[in-house]
Amino acid sequence: MSIQVFVVPINVTKGEHTTSLFVAECHPFGKIPVFKQGNTQIFESRAIWRYLAAKYQADLGPPANPDDLATFEQLDSVGYSHFDPAISGLAYGKLFKRARGNCEPNPKRIQELEEQVSQCLDYYDGVLTKQAWFAGDNFSVIDICNIPMLEMFITRLGYEHEVTSRLYLKAWWNRATKCLSWKAIKAKASG
């Protein structure tokens, strides 16, 4: 799927995503990302990726077979219910709290979040012992949604060893980050 996009930088540390204008016009919960194309506006990354996969008829979305669909949805649920919140909590505790001058991270809370992420990574590594990508034999929106969170976990939070110590997850990470689409996204995001 090759789509030209225009990335609008939002300064999260300055709270640009929480302004009344952003909340009113872009995202009712004051979060990012937001996607706009013509009259279509979507927030929530998984919804955006599924929309793009469907619109451009990319073979990235949910499979038609009910058994494969169940696995796909289960993996996606682990991502948005367990993995993303734990990494977001770590990022808030270790990066954003300090940057905003709110205080030092709570060590007990950080340890709890690290354990939650570790459980998810163990689960992901187990899934990847049986297949090349999260949703099976093909790259999918689930892979796309996990890459940015793992990127932050590794590069910004310093937990590279948590990924590289898991054989199958490490192999997936090496494949996923070599994808041209991820390289293009990173290049656009870094300006």
Residue 12 has a pLDDT of 80
Residue 1 has a pLDDT of 54
Residue 162 has a pLDDT of 97
Is the model more confident about 48 or about 83? 83
HEC-encoded secondary structure of the chain: CCCCCCCCCCCCCCCHHHCHHHHHHCCCCCCCCEEEECCEEEECHHHHHHHHHHHCCCCCCCCCCHHHHHHHHHHHHHHHHHHHHHHHHHHHHHHHHHHCCCCCCCHHHHHHHHHHHHHHHHHHHHHHCCCCECCECCCCHHHHHHHHHHHHHHHHCCCHHHHHCCHHHHHHHHHHCCCHHHHHHHHHHCC
Give the pLDDT band of residue 3 (cuts 50, 70, 90).
low
Q: Which domain holds residue 96?
A: 66-189
Residue 191 has a pLDDT of 58
Q: Please tell me the total count of domains within the chain.
A: 1
CATH number at residue 140: 1.20.1050.10
Residue 1 inside a domain? The answer is no
Give the pLDDT band of residue 2 (cuts 50, 70, 90).
low
Residue 49 has a pLDDT of 81
